[in-house]
Structure 1
């Protein structure tokens, strides 16, 4: 990361993508773009729908094994029940991470490997939702997937405990899986959870620090741990279940990490400028919490009057009347342009790693579609 960071920091914050990057990747979409990117259509959508259909039966079976009090919270969080326990046809999420597990397995080992990796895909989805339940409590987010978050309905303690239970279910699924890769997968997923927790801890600690104390290297490392690690782990688990060579497992892990960092960059952009009707979350929540998100840190470290203005705003408690002013200061200081440029650069690195593990473009097509989907998203 060090060499790439040095190269990136030579580019002024707010500078547009290089011609080479644009030719290679195309534009990174946000809610203000004219329309979805070319892979926001059927190809990625079919992959995600197929992944959801594959994992949901075993996912629900795992959740149904929980004690009733925890099961109720988990089923609500996944959108399958209302708060009173009655059935709901809700939104359980896009299934990006389980789709990466299954698609990586298929890319390296074919359809049989994909079928064998379903339990690993469910485990990754459980871990992801464990982090969401905890994140919502820590960030005090009140909406997710267009409905109240679990902690607002059931309380902090119950939401945290339900998240803990989901993590335990994930590791139990792998421990009980007779597949020869299950032990290595469980160890890798456990290591990933530790890295996720370290990334989240770093993120929350940054909120208490002076705006001028946080640098780009540090916040990028935090984002890789918090977001890139699980996407990388998902791809690596798929490769493990396909009996891939160690170097291919490592390359797919690196692919997922780079794509995950691109995902986080775009997610941070959406967190500031996104449309709540599309995202299901309030606009500007990260700014209100004075979070040191990637566009914000890029803006703070860019120098100039807009950076100074943003630093002054971040040094005082949040005032809702300043929200638009704060978002404008981030944009004027180059934070939005930097994040979109950096996302394109990270995607280019992801493609290089993918080509190492899966040199056949046709076999790599599903993973490429998913990677581009998450960086061309608007919600």
Structure 2
């Protein structure tokens, strides 16, 4: 394994580099799942049909954070695999809760194997992640703390679907738990693999958390306006589920005519032309522009923490490249 990190690589090259390192270890770890769970995991990760898994953003953040504080990549690999397992545990469960039929252009786990086996497979991934870090109590504590924050965020997300009114601040807090906590944890796990002092550890955590919140803002935009051929998600998927996503909540709270019309639409079953109209109303009420502006602001705040961490220049350059990619990605 090479420790060479060139600051001139693109975000896609950085992610591909990290995935090349993590994927074999992830496959080996998944081979330790109970026999009944392995076919489900292989389908989810895209190994059964060669479709391939996701971006591996979180494990790459772990590897680069380890490099940032002078640790060798090998020392951070168990944590990188563990954080990817936790992320995918949440995806499998999320698809069950939302009823989404596709992910990454393929049928979701619950659609192929059923809801019960999907839930068990997610549970198995979470247990395996904990087992991988059983010899590193500091990393295990950090990861399980993030899992609890993620669950709280997901719980709020579900609750919001049944509430007529949701405030922008509480929606942002939900997103911070649902997505920000795990990206912040990914950076902490890498830093804990090296000799990172409390101040540097804190800045790297904040970098990841702010980046994670920016990620969720963009994810919510893609959940409405993302191109299905690129995102692998159904068109208007979040609107169909009447999710109180960040741009939707901003639009509902705008006090505009478009916001009032959107509120009325959200009290009905959304399908067909109503979905397209709802997306148009979120845009007209300013929710789309607001969400993208907040993502950009969060990316800027994340980069301030990255500079304050005073880390290895090569790792800094690549973490910054990833941050800019997250704030403007299309999938």
| TM-score above 0.5, yes or no | yes
- The one of 202, 207, 210 equivalent to 1:255 is 207
Name the residue aligned to 1:197: 151
Q: Quote the offset at 1:50 in angstroms.
A: 1.6
Q: Quote the offset at 1:42 in angstroms.
A: 4.5
Structure 2 distance, partners of 1:317, 1:183, is 47
Q: How many residues align?
A: 324
Unaligned stretches of 5+ in structure 2? 1-7
Question: Aligned ranges for residues 229-308 of structure 1 at < 5 Å?
Answer: 229-308=181-260
Q: Quote the offset at 1:238 in angstroms.
A: 0.7
Name the residue aligned to 1:32: none
- The one of 52, 55, 58 equivalent to 2:19 is 52
- The one of 62, 84, 90 equivalent to 2:51 is 90
Structure 2 distance, partners of 1:215, 1:296, is 11
Q: Is the 8 A contact 2:217 2:291 kept in 1?
A: yes
Name the residue aligned to 1:366: 318
Once the two structures are superposed, residues 109-163 of structure 1 have per-residue CA deviations (whole angstroms, 9 ceiling, x without a partner) of 1xx4322101110000000000000000001111011100000000000001000
Structure 2 distance, partners of 1:254, 1:50, is 24
Structure 1 distance, partners of 2:315, 2:190, is 14
- The one of 102, 124, 130 equivalent to 2:89 is 130
Name the residue aligned to 1:106: 67
Q: Quote the offset at 1:363 in angstroms.
A: 3.9
Unaligned stretches of 5+ in structure 1? 1-40, 82-87, 177-181
Question: Aligned ranges for residues 335-346 of structure 1 at < 5 Å?
Answer: 335-346=287-298
Question: Aligned ranges for residues 176-215 of structure 1 at < 5 Å?
Answer: 176=135, 182-210=136-164, 213-215=165-167
Structure 2 distance, partners of 1:115, 1:329, is 49
Name the residue aligned to 1:312: 264
SS at match of 1:231: helix
Query: Aligned-pair RMSD on alpha carbons?
Result: 1.3
Name the residue aligned to 1:357: 309
Structure 1 distance, partners of 2:198, 2:268, is 50
Of structures 1 and 2, the one scoring higher in RCO (CA 8 A, sep 6+) is 1
Once the two structures are superposed, residues 44-97 of structure 1 have per-residue CA deviations (whole angstroms, 9 ceiling, x without a partner) of 22221121111112211111112221011001100011xxxxxx2122111100
Are 1:323 and 2:275 counterparts? Answer: yes
Are 1:142 and 2:110 counterparts? Answer: no
Q: Quote the offset at 1:359 in angstroms.
A: 5.5
